[in-house]
Amino acid sequence: MGKGSGRRTLRRLGFYMGRYTAPAVLEIVLAGMITAFTLGIPVLCGKIIDCMAGPGSVDFDRIAGYLVIMAVCVLGSGALQWAASLISNHISFSVSRDIRNDAMETVTRLPVAYTDSHRYGGIVSRVTSDVDRLTDGMILALDQLFQSIFTIAGTLALMISISPSIALTVVLLTPVSLLVAGFLAKRTHRLFGVQAESRAELSGYVNEMVTEQQTIRAFSGEEEALLNFGKLNGEYMKRSLKAIFFSSVTNPATRLVNNVIYALVCLAGCMSAIDGGLTVGALSSALAFAGKYAKPFNEISGIVTEIQNALVCAGRVFELTDEKRYPEDPEGAAELSDPEGRVGFDSVSFSYVPEERLIEDFSLDVKKGEHVAIVGPTGAGKTTIVNLLMRFYDPDSGSICLDGRSTRMIKRDSLTRSVGMVLQDTWIMHGTVRDNILMGRKASDGDVERAARLAHAHGFIMKMPRGYDTVISDDDGVLSQGQRQLICIARVFVAVPPVLILDEATSSIDTRTELKIQDAFGRLTEGRTSFVIAHRLSTIRDADRIIVMNSGRIVESGRHDELLEKGGFYRELWESRFR
């Protein structure tokens, strides 16, 4: 992260913190009061020392009064410090909450192309661990920043009032400490950026290994997985040690400089006391102020690791929130009130990678209620056609229409409500079975049960501990793959949209259940437009039309018997199915 990006990150953080102006003002007021109480103690100590001029000349009454005031300062400082910590925690966690909300809002609106090209673990790392590190850095900064400013100003003013020469000595030598801290901070900032990238890469790899455990074990890939993890983990350790080493040098270096400054102040103060320019008590107070003046610089350099790390992590989160979201609905986009389900593809071309053309000049008109099956070898572009229809991607050229209106001119929410999908890859969210079937839609318990019965899921659902109220998730191992797919199919029965997309919808279901599902789909698709993408050619024999694709083009089209009689590419696929 460069200097310019660091400034932008600070400005962005300032924008978020600006939402909490009132707590921040109160934090500043408390910091001033804490500093006043804290700096009052050395003043009182100096006065107490001056009250003890020698044997038999100790003013105990004044000492007692000073001790009472000192006790008030100590207790007041402690109480206000506790209150200030609560406020700084409130501001920090509130800002982190807002940033995390914005990051998650961006994630839910990212184009599918982004999530397809980035590791899920890296995205999760930015929203979770990077924001957590930002929180830690903000808490430390807020706890120290305002008090440090007031301490520097207060001690400097008090030193000037006691001895201008001592104050001048401290001020002239302070830039040395700042130069040392700044020199090291510039290098640690870059190193923490490298460390954060390595951490995200490691998190992404761990996420892949955990989610794909079955595949790894099926192919005896444990040793290779451990070897690759060891390399990434070792690289992360090296980068972390390098960043921590440079940051850890900052505090000792600034302390060394400040100790030298303190020694010179002691020398100047003692010379002034010998000449009678200072009392012993005043000298004691001046030395205490010199130490307190240097303390904020030591503290800032001491937490530079967290501050630099927090800025780097904040920059990574802001990079995510600044990612280009999918386009907003254009002006004039229509809301489909009662869609019929007519679908048209007009000279559509598309490619995921510009150099590798996938869909070329694809045209297709589907009538209302028509049952269309799309078949072809792997990589022919079958699923891509579905992605384009749902506007997960937009075509490079050509247009896609629903009821004669371009999908670009249809509101996204309206489009997704008009098209129901059952995908090959199932997904179960953490929640009850009922919530998973409803998936945000409103329906009665009777409608949910009816949908589950049509999907042949009601039987195994009722065998669960709490039936439809049983909590399930995507990785709890409670449901088999087939049962997960049946629940996903039940979602479509609840929605009953005018257009249906079934992408290998029965790929993980046994033959007996598949026959029941096909019967239920027959009732569901009656009068509705439907697209079925399947490698099991036996499941689409009764389709109104079969579209045969190869290399992104339609090579054949017709009914099952017609295509077999042609003896073309479809017949080859059909015969290869039974060889």
**132-173 pLDDT tens trace:** 888 888 888 787 777 878 888 888 888 788 777 777 777 777
CB 203 within 8 Å of CB 128: no
pLDDT higher than 60, residue 111: yes
Model pLDDT, residue 77: 86
DSSP for 186-225 reads HHHHHHHHHHHHHHHHHHHHHHHHHHTHHHHHHTT-HHHH
* pLDDT given for residue 181 in this prediction: 65
Q: How many helices (H) and strands (E) does the chain have?
A: 20, 12
How far is residue 492's CA from residue 247's CA, in Å, rounded to a whole number?
Answer: 56
Lowest-pLDDT range, 264-273, 379-388, 406-415? 264-273
Which pLDDT score, from 0 to 100, does residue 538 have?
64
Consecutive H or E run containing 258? helix 222-274
Output the six-digit token pair for 226: 């451990």
pLDDT digits (tens, 9 = 90+) for 224-259: 778 888 888 888 888 888 777 766 676 677 677 767
Cβ atoms of residues 302 and 122 within 8 Å: no
* End-to-end CA gap in the chain: 59
- CA distance to 359, 371, 498, 557, per residue, from 505 (Å): 23, 15, 18, 22
Residues in the chain: 579
Q: Which pLDDT value is given to residue 535?
A: 64
**How does DSSP classify residue 137?**
H
User: Element (H or E) spanning 371, and its range?
Assistant: strand 371-375
pTM score, two decimals?
0.68
Query: Three-class SS of residue 553?
Result: strand
Q: Which of 266, 307, 302, 342 is nearest to 530 (CA)?
A: 342
Q: Do the Cβ atoms of 336 and 410 come closer than 8 Å? A: yes
CATH of 343-578, one of 3.30.360.10, 3.40.710.10, 3.40.50.300, 3.30.70.20: 3.40.50.300
Domain ranges of the chain: 3-321, 343-578
Is the pLDDT assigned to residue 507 strictly greater than 60? no
Query: Which region, left, alpha or beta, applies to residue 386 given φ > 0 means left and ψ of -120 to 50 means alpha?
Result: alpha
pLDDT of residue 462: 92
Nearest to 100 by CA among 353, 318, 333, 411: 318
The whole-angstrom distance between residue 291's C-alpha and the CA centroid of its chain comes to: 42
**Number of C-beta neighbours around residue 2 at 10 A:** 11
* Encoded tokens for 78: 């402690």
What is 3-321's CATH number, 3.40.50.2300, 1.20.1560.10, 1.20.120.430, 3.30.70.270? Answer: 1.20.1560.10
Q: Ranked by mean pLDDT, which of 213-227, 277-291, 308-322 comes out on top?
A: 308-322
Helices marked H in 443-480: 445-454, 458-462
- Evaluate if residue 196 carries a pLDDT over 80: no
Q: Mapping DSSP to helix (H, G, I), strand (E, B) and coil, where does residue 547 land?
A: strand
Strand partners, 374: 533, 547
